[in-house]
Amino acid sequence: MERDGSILIAGAGAIGSVMGGMLRAEGREIAMLGRRTHLDAIARNGLHLTGLFGERVVSGFTLAERAAQLNRRFSLILLTVKSYDTAAIAAELAGLLAPDGVLVSMQNGVGNIETLVERLGAARVLGARVIFGAEMESPGTVRVTVFAEPVAVGPAPHVQGEESARLLQRARSVASILTGAGIPTEACADVMPYLWTKLFYNAALNPLGALLGLHYGALAEEPDLRAIMNEAIDEAFAVARRMNVAVPFRSAEAYRSVFYEKLVPSTFHHRPTMLYDLERRGRTDIEALNGKVVELAERFGLEAPVNRMLTRLVRARERLQREKIGQP
């Protein structure tokens, strides 16, 4: 994988652009799939990266709006599309991933790895927890706004079984590539605890921030909103425990202490991507977050009324916004 060096960023939004830009600046051969307006700006003036990872202008990408426009195979694909696009793009990417290549899901929520394994095979998929934030300030310009912890990349043993041990070495290779490009990354033997811990964070903050237009710090400072977030975390934590996910906290209360004392302060002024998704497209990844908590709670006979209500509110807001902006 490292010798080939060909990397595809499948979903050149804010996070994908940061990944692709940092890797390209380090000399990697990078192709990016994304939206025309953003790609056209990059083609004209380069990709402008600013913020916590430094300032640079990067060019020399292969740019494409559709997977069918790419006529080569890639040893490494970083998947950064929204979760609702995972199944559709997986079918397209299957033909672009080299036989010995690996695809890394860098998406929010849970359920993406399972979908990708079904379509690509257990030996070709890794998951990653990304917990730095970025915003697309304008087409061709992306700013890294917050950085909480290093990216964590690894297999999901409960899905991939005996392949997970072999995939750990591939995760180490990916971690080395990203860290070498200035994106702190660590390999892990089981990525699911990281994904679930991030889900606790996102399920609490994202829907309320999107619905109310508030940054994370403002949510945590409002007592009634804090109570809602606490219950959303409690429900998600109970589901993770029921699934035997080895989350690194003895209780939901222990997680909430870290959440309020460390995670929210480090991302205090950040507004959720879900807010921008609502405003621009009227579609969010709520189903892979709070919606997934509800789905799994039902499967295991648990209750998740707060996550259910948040999911319904965001769905309603999506429909209203699509009507407003004329999207189907």
Are the C-beta atoms of residues 20 and 12 closer than 8 Å to each other? Answer: yes
Q: Two tokens at 224?
A: 């009634």
Catalytic residue among 82, 198, 292, 324: 198
Radius of gyration of the chain (CA): 19
CB-CB neighbours of 50 under 10 Å: 17
**Is residue 287 a contact partner of residue 203, using CB atoms and an 8 Å limit?**
no
What are the distances in angstroms from CA 278 to CA 264, 326, 327?
A: 22, 13, 11
Active site includes 82? Answer: no
Q: Which amino acid is at 48?
A: H
Helix 290-299 and helix 223-242, axial crossing angle in degrees, nearest 10: 50
CB 198 within 8 A of CB 108: yes
| Active site positions, annotated | 198
